[in-house]
A and B are shown apart, each in its own frame.
Chain A
Amino acid sequence: GQNIDQPTEMTATEGAIVQINCTYQTSGFNGLFWYQQHAGEAPTFLSYNVLDGLEEKGRFSSFLSRSKGYSYLLLKELQMKDSASYLCAALDSNYQLIWGAGTKLIIKP
């Protein structure tokens, strides 16, 4: 079956760095997405990786290892507004997104 695993909840301190991991098992693979969802709001796109390696976008970076079926989202210089759920989703061979349950990130001052 197809499956995405990510931690349910993480806590970090303002100004620190946090890494949110995601492992996936899919029928074929066409890339991995990260979305951010603040409570009561729409998910918003953060990143898309299809090749191995690290992609950096400001304070946020996303890493992919296709051979390990593994990705992580790295958030630097954490701000209170980064408190949100982070959703990992893998695109399978039918171009269907397989979603994880999301990681709720709590930022403490």
Chain B
Amino acid sequence: ETGVTQTPRHLVMGMTNKKSLKCEQHLGHNAMYWYKQSAKKPLELMFVYNFKEQTENNSVPSRFSPECPNSSHLFLHLHTLQPEDSALYLCASSQDPGLASNEQYFGPGTRLTVT
């Protein structure tokens, strides 16, 4: 049990659908992250929130829209996705992104398939 939970674990959606991914951390951390993990590729950082404020947006297409209502919850709203967006979406949290030894704790991920 990592202390970071994600729902749903699996999601199949059409290109015209709207869905949301949810992440919750029970570790009292201040920072939360969304990553995209595609097969045989490095983890791609999408968004970073620190104390509920977005601090990173790595040129992510607008069809991905993050929301962080508080430091324990993070959402990723999805709409009009493309088949190439199919991937594992990982949420992570950490105490402070400005610390060098900033260990990130990951959730189990949502396996997204866009048809």
Contact = CB atoms under 8 A, between A and B. Distances in A.
A18 interface: no
B108 A42 contact: yes
Nearest to B102: A95
Contacts of A20: none
B11 interface: no
Contacts, number: 51
Contact of B101 (A35, A48, A87): A48
B35 to A, nearest CB: 8
Interface stretch (A52-60, A61-69, A71-79, A96-104): A96-104
A1 B41 CA distance: 16
A89 B99 CA distance: 15
Contacts of B41: 101
B98 interface: yes
B43 A50 contact: no
Interface string A23-36: 00000001101010
B5 to A, nearest CB: 10
Given A31-B101, A97-B104, A43 B42 contact: no
B103 interface: yes
B109 A42 contact: yes
A100 B44 CA distance: 10
Contacts of B4: 42
Nearest to B88: A40
A43 B2 CA distance: 10
A95 B98 contact: yes
Given A42-B106, A87-B43, A97-B45, 20 more contacts: A30-B100, A40-B108, A41-B108, A42-B4, A42-B90, A42-B107, A43-B90, A43-B106, A44-B2, A50-B100, A91-B100, A95-B97, A95-B102, A97-B43, A97-B104, A98-B42, A101-B40, A101-B42, A102-B40, A102-B42
Interface of B: 2, 4, 40-43, 45, 56, 90, 97-109
